[in-house]
Amino acid sequence: MVMDNVVKGLSPQPTIEQLSQDLVTVSSYLPVLADILQKETLLWKLELLKAASAYANARLHAVKAQTLVLSGGKDQLLPSQEEGQRLTSALPKSQLRSFEDHGHFLFLEDGVDLVTIIKGASYYRRGKSLDYISDFMPPTATEFNELNEENRWMSVLMSPVMLSTLEDGKIVRGLSGIPSEGPVLLVGYHNLMGFEVHTMVPQFLIERKILLRGLTHPILFVDSKDGGLPDLGPYDKFRIMGAVPVSAVNFYKLMSSKSHALLYPGGMREAMHRKGEEYKLFWPETSEFVRTAATFGATIIPFGTVGEDDVAQ
């Protein structure tokens, strides 16, 4: 916009003043620039900026480092969303996180925490390559409260009641029957869409200070620039809460680190079951996870959920 005004022959003073209306944070400096810079100087600087941008854009494909692109949906200064999509397409190893309710100055606005964003995108690591177990940072109280508030409607809708069994066989209300020390493996089956996870994982943390590390479908961790897979942004909350891609290696590491692991052997097929398959267990032909858990002396806790499948009846 400034470039167009200069080319059209407008004096630097109104051009700078128009820019200052948008760039609120630097408005006090712009009149000074208008007094110092002549039209030819300002035009030269804008041409220099244009050339520098062209140079940088021509070399984006050569950037090999992982890049996290952030954009604001209500940016009034720049077309952040369009630019974010362009940069994500051009940078080979990049992910985009768009904040629909935020503007240009993301880090100066409430509700935006860079550390949380990095954790959610799985960009934090201690070594050269990402390790979902050793690189995991537990959610802070603020992160947990915000995520739990997002899912509060599920707790209100489902009104879940959790029961557990003590060592003497007595069934009690609550989670007092769950061992505090790991390794512990909770093995169960999905109700429709797996919504029970949204209430179970927070309740374990609230009642017992136990963080369940869910072994999750790898699709929640794989980015696709061609649009063939869903956007990863909505799944950041699962990664913040400790979810890891289901694999033999990750399961082995969870058991060796004495974690509380949550496993659904039936996986996505079980969560997306058809009519007439309510409460049906989709058990794999091989159960190597049992052997691995036994190797580390893990406590294996089978569990079931009832009620959610009946909602659609």
pLDDT digits (tens, 9 = 90+) for 236-273: 999 999 999 999 999 999 999 999 999 998 887 777 77
90 pLDDT exceeds 80? yes
The string of DSSP codes covering the chain is: -HHHHHHTT--HHHHHHHHHHH-GGGTTTHHHHHHH--HHHHHHHHHHHHHHHHHHHTTGGG--S-EEEEEETT-SSS-HHHHHHHHHHHSTTEEEEEETT--S-GGGSTT--HHHHHHHTT---SSSS--TTTT--PPPHHHHHHHHHHTHHHHHHH----EEE-TTS-EEESSTTS-SSS-EEEE----GGGTTHHHHHHHHHHHH---EEEEE-GGGT---TTSSS--SGGGHHHHHTT-EE--HHHHHHHHHTT-EEEE-TTHHHHHT--TT-TT-----S--HHHHHHHHTTPEEEE----SGGGTT-
- Give the C-alpha separation, 301 to 165, whole Å: 10
What pLDDT score does 156 carry? Answer: 83
31 — pLDDT class (breaks 50, 70, 90): low
Q: How far apart are the first and last CA of the chain?
A: 58
What pLDDT score does 33 carry? Answer: 58
225 — pLDDT class (breaks 50, 70, 90): low
What pLDDT score does 63 carry? Answer: 93
Calculate mean pLDDT across residues 172-183.
Answer: 96
pLDDT in tens, 104-147: 899 899 889 999 999 999 999 888 889 999 999 999 999 999 99
User: Could you tell me the two tokens for 163?
Assistant: 């029961």
pLDDT mean across residues, the chain: 84
| Percentage of the chain exceeding pLDDT 70 | 84
Calculate mean pLDDT across residues 56-61.
Answer: 91
Give the chain's largest Cα–Cα span: 88
Picking from 192, 154, 138, the residue whose alpha carbon sits closest to that of residue 307 is: 192
281 — pLDDT class (breaks 50, 70, 90): confident
Contacts of 101 (CB under 8 A, 6+ apart): 73, 74, 111
What pLDDT score does 229 carry? Answer: 55
What pLDDT score does 296 carry? Answer: 97
What pLDDT score does 165 carry? Answer: 95
pLDDT in tens, 208-224: 999 999 999 888 887 76
